[in-house]
Structure 1
Amino acid sequence: MTALVHELDDPRRAAIVRQARSHFINEGYAGTRMEPIAREAGVSTATLYAFFDSKAVLFEAVINDASEDFARHMGAVTVASGTPRERLNAFVGAYAEFMSDSFVRSVFRLVLAERPRFEAIAMHFFERGRNDFGAVLMSMLSEMTAEGQMKVSKPSWAAGQLMGMVEHPVFFVPLVTGGDVVSERTPRAIAEEAVETFLARYAA
């Protein structure tokens, strides 16, 4: 276990993953080569292969690392007090800004493109995203329902509805169009409108 922790904390590994992420996003899996990644990370090819014995293993590490980054980002959003409107606006607004980030879309686009080759990795990536983000919102809705502030009988359904109202304009449309179609509303404005629609349906 000590050796594993030491390896994961090794700055050379982090540099390799960072450079590999850029290559996979810009060139795709098939177009990415290991030698340029090693060179840009400042390590030898032998060192790269000591950490990752194949390109497939490196790709999995890149996707797992991105998942960790995403979880840390949304995990920092804590909304423990306030009215339902205030709490939902804070969380959903942060979620909208996160999902509208071009880098986040690039990672999702990469995972979607390589899903036929790495189905298990892709499914784990999507499942983790749903759990990391959706679980927080479901817990919030359950808590507010227990306090008599909301009327939500199925938190998972309600959370999916609210997140879906945000995801479509800030994430899926730019993902499909390559960013050519951009909403005139800011992510925060989209989130606030979604929350108002949601409260009209579920507020106590």
Structure 2
Amino acid sequence: MQVSEAERKGVDAPVVAAPTGRADQTLAKKRRLLRIAREEFIRQGYRAVTMDAIAQAAGVSKRSLYLWHEDKAALFRACLAAGVDNFPLMQFNEAADPETDLRAFGLALLREFIRPSTVGIARLLLREANEFAEFGPLIRHSRDEHLVRPLARYLERAKIVDGHCDSQAKLLLAMILTPVHDYLLVGDALPDERECTIHVETAVRTFLCGQTRLSRAA
């Protein structure tokens, strides 16, 4: 499994200073725009944010903003996609120990989901999902494409599960992210680093023990 340095530390990736090339400068401006737009969505909520306000906060012209993102919905989708890029990658390695792999993945994932910016987006989605029907498909697509299916493929290749791989991947993800769900739904405190480590180790061990029992019963 491969994770970035920012993921290992559980912090937001730093904004890279713009290189000298014009294309690189434009790319840096686009990245900065998405970071600021994400902050504005979290601070104000999806409904209250305007494209004009985001352009002003990011220091870009409205012409550039609409050239890069045709409307607020497209900009919000881009912000979600930028956040998804921070998710850890679950990759199969025959030489690796599956339990160690799953623990590393689970810890990187939980660290990502307790970051302030990720929690802020999650709160926004929960708060405004009933008003904006497009949020549901966006969330499901991100979850399935970037978390469920890669993890399901890993579980199948590592011979941890035999059939129903997607549902088993969803189960493991739910177990790993329980502290985040508890924080968002009932107001429990988010775990610190030590608590994250203990929780992920327990979740992965419990999941694997359950799979072993199912295999023996079959």
TM-score for both structures, normalised by structure 2: 0.71
Judge conservation of contact 2:46–2:128 (CA < 8 Å) in 1. yes
Aligned pair in 2 of structure 1 residues 11, 136: CA closer, same or farther (>3 Å)? same
State the alpha-carbon separation in 1 of the partners of residues 210 and 125 from structure 2.
34
Distance in 1 (CA, whole Å) between partners of 2:128 and 2:88 is 25
Q: Is the 8 A contact 1:64 1:125 kept in 2?
A: no
Are 2:110 and 1:96 aligned?
yes
Match of 1:3 in 2: none
How many residues matched? Answer: 187
1:32 matches 2:49: yes
Deviations 1:13-69 (A, max 9, x none): 3333222111110111232233332223222334334444543443333233333x2
Cα distance, 1:10–1:143 mapped onto 2, change above 3 Å:
closer
Distance 2:61 2:166 in 1: 48
Whole-angstrom CA distance in 2 between matches of 1:140 and 1:49: 40
Partner in structure 1 of residue 13 of structure 2: none
% identical equivalent positions: 26
- Report whether the alignment pairs 1:124 with 2:133: no
2:166 equivalent among 153, 156, 160: 156
Contact 2:39 2:117 survives alignment (8 Å): no
The separation in 2 between residues aligned to 1:199 and 1:63, in whole angstroms, is 31
Note if 1:181 corresponds to 2:189.
Answer: yes
| 1:167 aligned residue | 177
- Answer yes or no: is 1:13 the counterpart of 2:27: no
* Residues 25/190 of structure 1: CA separation in 2 closer, same or farther (3 Å cut): same
> Residues 97 and 188 of structure 1 are in contact (CA less than 8 Å); yes or no, is this contact kept in structure 2?
no
For 1:183 and 1:142, the matched residues in 2 are separated by 30
Mapped contact 2:148–2:170 kept (Cα < 8 A): yes
Partner of 1:191: 200
SS at match of 1:186: helix
By how many angstroms is 1:187 displaced? 1.5
Q: Which residue of 2 aligns with 1:109?
A: 123
Could you list the runs of 5+ residues in structure 1 that have no partner in the other structure? 1-5
Question: Which residue does 1:47 correspond to in 2?
Answer: 64
Aligned to 2:81: 64
CA RMSD in angstroms comes to 2.7
SS class of match (1:123): helix
Q: 1:152, 1:158 within 8 Å by CA — same for their partners in 2?
A: no
Listed one character per residue, the Cα deviations across residues 90-115 of structure 1 (whole Å, up to 9, x for unaligned) are 22222222223232121122223332
Q: For the structure 1 residues 49 and 158, does the alpha-carbon distance in structure 2 shift closer, same or farther, using more than 3 Å as the test?
A: closer
Q: Give yes or no for the alignment of 1:74 onto 2:76.
A: no
Q: Aligned to 2:156, what secondary structure does the other structure show?
A: helix
Q: Aligned partner of 2:100: which letter? A: E
Structure 1: distance between partners of 2:209 and 2:52: 56
Counterpart CA distance in 1 for 2:154 and 2:71 is 42
- TM-score between both structures, scaled by the size of structure 1: 0.75
